[in-house]
Amino acid sequence: MTDATVTPSIMNPRPMLRKFGLPALLLGFVLLATLLSGGKFIQPDNLSVILFQSSIVGVLVIGITFVMLTGGIDLSIVGIMVLSAILMGAAGSERQQMMLLNDIVPYVGPFWALVMALVVAALLGFLNGVISIRFGIPSFIVTLAMGLMLAGVALMVTGGSPIYYPPDFYEVFGETRIFGIVAPVYAFLGLAVLCWWVLKSTRFGVSIYALGGNPHASQLSGIPVVRYQILAFTICGLVAGIAGGLFLSRTGFVAPSSGGDLLLGTIAAVVVGGVSLSGGKGSIVGAVVGVLFLSSLSNLMNILLISPHIQDAISGFFILGAITLSNRLES
């Protein structure tokens, strides 16, 4: 480009701050945490605990990122997660079958239970997408309603009782260690890498950013906007289903009321991670960093034996401070 109005920006300190401000902030946090905990925080053992604890929210965050990039939101992810975990556990275990108070779910064996649960999860996401995109009802409302509905369905399906005896697969999966780290963490990180690649290197990924930024212009540029928006919801549903599997593999247990506090935690993580509510902005990497940050914070407070009463208050102030600081650094 031969252009007089363009001046090189190397002299400008802002891009540097923009680039390194956040990592510096995170590094600062890690140092602080290590100091405060007398080194316990940084122990490999503890780090692997944090990763494990992050895996469920982490997977949910990956799913919701797709939807949020399109400018939507999914408040039904936890509902989908729980229902699919219930299906995996109930339809996949004969022992569990005998325990269900309602006999709505048939026994189909572990493999087909898994498949069925994931298909149902994807279908529910698809339904969210179709209702909100085709009928133009804000996804906030559609998925809020879907979440309510699924809570009811979970109660109906189980008659209220929890899943205690899922197929052994989950327990084995949850306890298998590779290089000292449990399998669910690999599932989480693997999914993150896969989705990062999808967003960066596929037609769908590039289009998601476009339509999140300006759906109308994207439509006029030939991007199949509606199809991709619905696809984003479907992926989110499917991913929530995967989270259901991880949930089951953590304690071999799921109840219709499980995961009550995961929704706000997921949204907090994703927004702290820089994914914009209005669409078109944000990344998987940011979202995953958001999750790890919040999990580390909660782990740190537990290690420091901070009273559960004020943990929420402290993390509230921490989030406010961190975001304010990173905003300052960026502008």
Interacting positions 296-325 with another protein (CB under 8 A): 298-299, 302-305, 307-317, 319-320, 323-324
How many other CB atoms are found less than 10 A from the CB of residue 24?
13
**DSSP H or E run through 178:** strand 177-178
Tell me which of 77, 114, 255, 297 binds another protein, using CB under 8 A: 255
**Least distance CB 234 / another protein (angstroms):** 19
Helices 13-36 and 284-303 pack at an angle, to 10 degrees, of 30
Closest to another protein by CB, 66 vs 247, is 247
Tell me which of 64, 116, 121, 272 binds another protein, using CB under 8 A: 272
Quick check: 205 and 199 in contact, CB under 8 A? Answer: yes
Stretch that binds another protein, among 24-32, 60-68, 104-112, 264-272 (CB under 8 A): 264-272
In the window 37-66, what residues touch another protein (CB under 8 A)? 37, 40, 43, 45-46, 49, 52-53, 56
HSE, side-chain direction, 13 A CA sphere, residue 328: 7
Left (φ > 0), alpha (ψ -120 to 50) or beta: where does 266 sit? alpha
Tell me which of 21, 165, 181, 285 binds another protein, using CB under 8 A: 165
Nearest-5° Cα angle at 154, 176 to 108: 60
In the window 97-156, what residues touch another protein (CB under 8 A)? 98-99, 101, 131, 135-138, 140-142, 144-149, 151-153, 155-156
**Least distance CB 25 / another protein (angstroms):** 14
**Least distance CB 41 / another protein (angstroms):** 8
Q: Does 29 bind another protein (CB under 8 A)?
A: no
In the window 174-203, what residues touch another protein (CB under 8 A)? 174-175, 182, 197, 200-203
Q: Does 285 bind another protein (CB under 8 A)?
A: no
Quick check: 62 and 237 in contact, CB under 8 A? Answer: no
Q: Does 252 bind another protein (CB under 8 A)?
A: yes
Q: Does 159 bind another protein (CB under 8 A)?
A: yes
**At 52, is the secondary structure helix, strand, or coil?**
helix
C-alpha span between 304 and 310 (Å, rounded): 12
The distance in angstroms from the start CA to the end CA of the chain is 28
**Least distance CB 291 / another protein (angstroms):** 14
C-alpha span between 315 and 96 (Å, rounded): 38
